């Protein structure tokens, strides 16, 4: 079994958790310095006391969608106000799947700007709002992609000095079937991959032929997969390009990475 020390061996000292999939409190057993918690709707918000306890010996950040009721800095921010002071924020526009029609219609830019102004050391999710996030400043929280190293080098060369964090679904195994089952569907949602896949192609271990060929490359472009040495090598390349933190989302759950 892979243990928590394997994360360290792979150069990973931060994890992202989905509270609909795991008990967030179990992250206390992980050998990491930073834990971010994804937003998957109010029904999956962890109890503030759980987050506060987890923050006792590490940095903890809750993803806060600035257009959602309860987290809107220009409207109802009651849920944000209820968070312990020990818990930081990852400010995001918010995935439409977790927003009502009214919430999704709210302008992003003024809300991100106001939320960042109110937040000490904010992280700002860049997906879909890259230019706005860059203008707002703070730690840029980006999704791993095939051009990640090149893109990071470019913004560093242009003089960007704030922190850069990279979110990466992670599967620490060289078992190709296990990799595809864990992150094949995730990679298949990326437009270049979706366009390259045959219609109605399987995206898991049962993918075959052209679909399997496309997915095998895609999971390596959009996720950290492979044995510890392979993952550590990509983490090193990201850091050499200018990334400050690589945040691993354990795509197979916590059991494979808990000591």
Annotate 3-52 with three-state secondary structure.
Answer: CHHHHHHCCCCEEEECCCCCCHHHHHHCCCCEEEECCCCHHHCCCHHHHH
pLDDT at 2: 41
Distance (Å, whole) CA 131 – CA 137: 10
Distance (Å, whole) CA 163 – CA 88: 15
Listed in sequence order, the residues at least 6 apart from 111 whose beta carbon sits closer than 8 Å to its beta carbon are 66, 67, 72, 73, 74
Mean pLDDT across the stretch 61-73?
Answer: 97
pLDDT at 8: 86
The pLDDT tens digits of the residues spanning 158-196 come to: 999 999 999 999 999 999 999 999 999 999 999 999 999
Residue 174: both structure tokens together: 């060289």
Whole-structure pTM value: 0.94
pLDDT at 6: 77
The pLDDT tens digits of the residues spanning 93-113 come to: 999 999 999 999 999 999 999
What b/e sequence results for 54-83 when a residue is b if at least 16 CB atoms lie within 10 Å of its CB, and e otherwise?
bbeebbbbbbbbbbbbbbbbeeebebbeeb
Distances (CA, A) of 135 to 111, 152, 164, 215: 13, 16, 14, 34
With 80 as the cut, is the pLDDT of residue 5 above it? no
pLDDT at 259: 55
Residue 91 backbone dihedrals phi, psi, to 5 degrees? -80, 125
Under the banding of pLDDT at 50, 70 and 90, the label for residue 4 is very low
The pLDDT tens digits of the residues spanning 102-157 come to: 999 999 999 999 999 999 899 999 999 999 999 999 999 999 999 999 999 999 99
DSSP 75: S
Question: How is domain 4-173+230-257 classified at the CATH fold level?
Answer: TIM Barrel (3.20.20)
- Bridge-based pairing state of the strands 224-225 and 164-171: parallel
Task: Please state the domain extents for the chain.
Answer: 4-173+230-257, 175-225
């Amino acid at each position: 079994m892979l243990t928590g020390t394997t994360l360290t061996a792979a150069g990973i000292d931060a994890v992202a958790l989905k509270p609909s999939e795991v008990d967030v409190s179990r992250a206390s057993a992980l050998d990491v310095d930073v834990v971010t918690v994804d937003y998957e709707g109010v029904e999956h918000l962890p109890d503030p006391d759980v987050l506060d306890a987890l923050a006792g010996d590490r940095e903890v950040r809750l993803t806060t969608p600035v257009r959602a009721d309860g987290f809107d800095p220009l409207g109802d921010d009651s849920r944000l106000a209820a968070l312990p002071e020990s818990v930081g924020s990852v400010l995001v526009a918010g995935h439409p799947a977790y927003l009502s029609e009214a919430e999704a219609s709210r302008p992003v830019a003024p809300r991100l700007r106001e939320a960042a102004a109110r937040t000490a050391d904010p992280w700002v999710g860049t997906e879909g709002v890259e230019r706005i996030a860059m203008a707002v400043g703070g730690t840029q929280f980006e999704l791993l992609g095939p051009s990640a190293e090149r893109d990071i080098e470019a913004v560093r060369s242009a003089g960007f000095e704030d922190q850069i964090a990279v979110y990466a679904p992670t599967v620490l195994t060289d078992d190709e079937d296990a990799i595809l089952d864990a992150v094949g569907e995730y990679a298949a949602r990326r437009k270049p991959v979706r366009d390259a896949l045959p219609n109605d192609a399987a995206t898991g271990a049962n993918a075959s032929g052209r679909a399997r060929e496309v997915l095998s490359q895609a999971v390596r472009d959009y996720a950290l997969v492979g044995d510890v040495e392979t993952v550590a090598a990509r983490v090193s390349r990201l850091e050499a390009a200018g990334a400050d933190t690589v945040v691993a989302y354990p795509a197979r759950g916590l059991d494979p990475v808990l000591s």
